[in-house]
């Protein structure tokens, strides 16, 4: 294996081992030695890639966010107009519920660390600010083209991002009580109908 | 101080010390000895009240939930009908944002522990199930009296509880970016308008 490939493979193994260990026993209780053992790498290799456990934690957060960003690209859903794209995006919640289960402990760990650490806090809240801005912008675009109607695009963005977050969290925590994979997109579309009629139910 | 009062005072001090210590360094990393030291009580006194650290953790969770329940009593908000009560309840989010700040680390800790521990999990998800049932029931009542109109009360309850959770979490994590104390009730009322017109804006 060429040297660069080997280094990337090592980095990936450290990230995987760290995610598993943080998820099962928490960030604070996990040592660099444990991560190295699980990943099967030397401490030398670890510190070549990550100067500190904290840097590794932030790298995991960044990896996770860039995966989310790929899903949130509106070009992937673009129908004839913004309203149609938004209704199609509701199904993202289904994917989030399926794929999010492995990430939930890490996700909660980020938030818990964020409450204690300004750097993690900044990295954790930044995407929510970005999502709210992204949706506010999309709503404006929909209003301009005439496919959406709302008195306050910023408030609508706050509501839709909050709704999605609450649906994902409850669905990931308690997947037994409700059929979340149906209920989450349905709830999202119900609230979307405040801004535009559902193309699936309108003749 | 009479014996029973002294015992209650000790119990309260242990709970306070535990909440502070769990919040600052996490549940896993906190020892019973540290809680005793912070509370200024002996280990004997600790174990008289709580057989384990885990039992103490669950007692904190119960205390917190019973505080929430007091706020969610619809009799406190009862206007002329269910729709009016719901619009009035939107202001609960403002109180949640003000008072929740001290509880956020504990709240995240509960969720993180819930992902690892079936007893904590049960205690953590139960209130969300209860809130969803509570609101579904309230919506049915509103439909029967004619003040609300919705096709699916259960779905509306899922949406409203999710919305409230997402608003509180973002508002508690990131109180700088948005005026959450205004935006949270406004977003809640905006979604409520799917079921009944806002009495404040209807002539």
Q: What are the residue ranges in chain A where pLDDT is below 70?
A: 74-79, 202-203
pLDDT of residue B135: 93
Asked whether residue A198 is domain-assigned, the answer is no
Q: pLDDT tens, B168-186?
A: 999 998 988 899 999 999 9
| Residue A3 sits in the same domain as residue A87 | no
Asked whether residue A11 is domain-assigned, the answer is yes
Q: What is the DSSP string of A143-193?
A: HHHTS---S-HHHHHHHHHHHHHHHHHHHHH-TTTS-HHHHHHHHHHHHHT
pLDDT of residue B197: 86
- Partner-chain contact A187 B116, CB within 8 Å: no
Tally the domains of chain B: 2
- Burial class of residue A137 in the structure, from the number of CB atoms within 10 Å of its CB (0-12 exposed, 13-18 middle, 19+ buried): middle
Sort out which chain A residues have CB atoms less than 8 A from B186's CB and list them: 152, 155
pLDDT of residue B101: 78
Neighbouring residues of A43: CB distance < 8 A, sequence distance ≥ 6: A32, A33, A36
- Partner-chain contact B116 A132, CB within 8 Å: no
Q: Which domain holds residue B157?
A: 59-192
Q: Which of A12-26, B112-126, B127-141 has the lowest mean pLDDT?
A: B112-126
Which of B194, B63, B48, B113 has the alpha carbon at shortest distance from A187? B194
Asked whether residue A201 is domain-assigned, the answer is no
In the block, residue with structure tokens 């309203």: A83
Sort out which chain A residues have CB atoms less than 8 A from B113's CB and list them: none
Sort out which chain A residues have CB atoms less than 8 A from B156's CB and list them: 190
Asked whether residue B197 is domain-assigned, the answer is no
Asked whether residue B203 is domain-assigned, the answer is no
pLDDT of residue B16: 94
Q: Contact at 8 Å (CB) between B189 and A194? A: no
| Residue B174 sits in the same domain as residue B128 | yes
Asked whether residue A123 is domain-assigned, the answer is yes
Q: pLDDT tens, B61-94?
A: 888 888 777 777 766 666 678 898 899 889 889 9
pLDDT of residue B195: 94
- Partner-chain contact A166 B170, CB within 8 Å: no
| Residue B17 sits in the same domain as residue B112 | no
Q: Which of B112-116, B153-157, B194-198 has the lowest mean pLDDT?
A: B112-116
Neighbouring residues of B199: CB distance < 8 A, sequence distance ≥ 6: B79, B83, B84, B87
- For chain A, the C-alpha Rg in angstroms (whole number) is 20
A34: part of which helix (H) or strand (E)? Answer: helix A32-39
- Partner-chain contact A173 B132, CB within 8 Å: no
Q: How far apart are the C-alpha atoms of B82 and B150, rounded to whole Å?
A: 13
Asked whether residue A75 is domain-assigned, the answer is yes
In a mutational test of the A interface, the residue from B174, B194, B197, B200 whose CB has the highest number of chain A CBs within 10 Å is B174
Q: Give the residue, B140 or B96, on which the prediction is more confident.
A: B140
| Residue B86 sits in the same domain as residue B44 | no
Report the sign of the C-alpha dihedral through residues B114, B93, B150, A84, in that order: negative
pLDDT of residue A143: 94
B165 confidence band (pLDDT: 50, 70, 90): very high
CA within 13 Å, CB half, B35: 32
| Residue B9 sits in the same domain as residue B97 | no
pLDDT of residue B59: 92
Sort out which chain A residues have CB atoms less than 8 A from B170's CB and list them: 128, 158, 161-162, 165
pLDDT of residue A113: 82
pLDDT of residue B124: 86
| Residue B138 sits in the same domain as residue B173 | yes
| Residue B47 sits in the same domain as residue B115 | no
- Asked whether this complex has an ipTM greater than 0.95, the answer is no
- Which of B34, B51, B68 is the endpoint of a domain? B51
Percent of chain B with pLDDT over 70: 96
| Residue B44 sits in the same domain as residue B131 | no
| Residue B103 sits in the same domain as residue B185 | yes
Q: Contact at 8 Å (CB) between B164 and B188? A: yes
Q: Which of A95-109, B45-59, B136-150 has the lowest mean pLDDT?
A: A95-109
Q: pLDDT tens, A128-186?
A: 999 999 999 999 999 999 999 998 999 999 999 999 999 999 999 898 889 999 999 99
Nearest CA to CA, how far is A111 from chain B (Å)? Answer: 7
| Residue B47 sits in the same domain as residue B100 | no
Residue A127: give its domain's CATH number. Answer: 1.10.357.10
- Partner-chain contact B24 A164, CB within 8 Å: no
Nearest CA to CA, how far is A141 from chain B (Å)? Answer: 20
- Partner-chain contact B166 A170, CB within 8 Å: no
Distinct helix (H) and strand (E) counts, chain A = 10, 0
Distances, alpha carbon A43 to alpha carbons A8, A39, A47, A63, A183, in Å: 16, 11, 6, 22, 46
| Residue B36 sits in the same domain as residue B79 | no
Q: Contact at 8 Å (CB) between B33 and B43? A: yes
**Dihedral (Cα; B152, B153, B156, B160), 10-degree rounding:** 180
Nearest CA to CA, how far is B155 from chain A (Å)? Answer: 6
Sort out which chain B residues have CB atoms less than 8 A from A196's CB and list them: none
- Which of A15, A31, A51 is the endpoint of a domain? A51
Which of A24, A23, A16 has the alpha carbon at shortest distance from A49? A16
pLDDT of residue A77: 66
CB contacts < 8 Å between A and B, how many? 146
Nearest CA to CA, how far is B147 from chain A (Å)? Answer: 19
Asked whether residue B201 is domain-assigned, the answer is no
Q: How far apart are the C-alpha atoms of A160 and A150, rounded to whole Å?
A: 13
Sort out which chain B residues have CB atoms less than 8 A from A170's CB and list them: 128, 158, 161-162, 165
Which of A104, A152, A161 is the closest to B166 by Cβ? A161
| Residue A117 sits in the same domain as residue A152 | yes
Q: How far apart are the C-alpha atoms of B165 and A137, rounded to whole Å?
A: 24
pLDDT of residue B142: 92
Q: How far apart are the C-alpha atoms of B194 and A151, rounded to whole Å?
A: 14
pLDDT of residue B26: 78
Residue B40: give its domain's CATH number. Answer: 1.10.10.60
Q: Contact at 8 Å (CB) between A102 and A161? A: no
Q: How far apart are the C-alpha atoms of B18 and B21, rounded to whole Å?
A: 5
Neighbouring residues of A35: CB distance < 8 A, sequence distance ≥ 6: A14, A17, A18, A21, A46, A53, A56
- Which of B32, B51, B70 is the endpoint of a domain? B51
CA within 13 Å, CB half, B83: 20
């Amino acid at each position: 294996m060429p040297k660069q490939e080997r280094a990337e493979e090592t980095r990936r193994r450290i990230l995987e081992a760290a995610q598993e260990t943080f998820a099962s026993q928490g960030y604070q209780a996990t040592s660099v030695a444990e991560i190295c053992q699980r990943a099967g790498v030397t401490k030398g290799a670890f510190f070549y890639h990550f100067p500190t456990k904290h840097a590794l934690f932030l790298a995991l957060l960044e990896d996770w966010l860039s995966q989310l960003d790929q899903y949130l690209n509106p070009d992937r859903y673009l129908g004839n107009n913004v309203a149609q794209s938004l209704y199609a995006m509701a199904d993202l919640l289904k994917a989030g519920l399926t794929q999010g289960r492995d990430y939930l402990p890490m996700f909660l760990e980020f938030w818990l660390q964020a409450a204690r650490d300004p750097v993690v806090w900044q990295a954790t809240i930044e995407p929510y600010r970005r999502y709210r801005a992204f949706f506010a912008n999309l709503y404006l675009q929909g209003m301009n083209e005439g496919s959406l109607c709302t008195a306050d695009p910023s408030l609508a963005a706050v509501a839709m991002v909050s709704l999605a977050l609450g649906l994902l969290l409850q669905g990931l925590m308690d997947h037994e009580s409700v059929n979340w994979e149906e209920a989450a997109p349905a709830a999202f579309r119900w609230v979307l109908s405040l801004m535009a009629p559902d193309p699936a139910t309108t003749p």
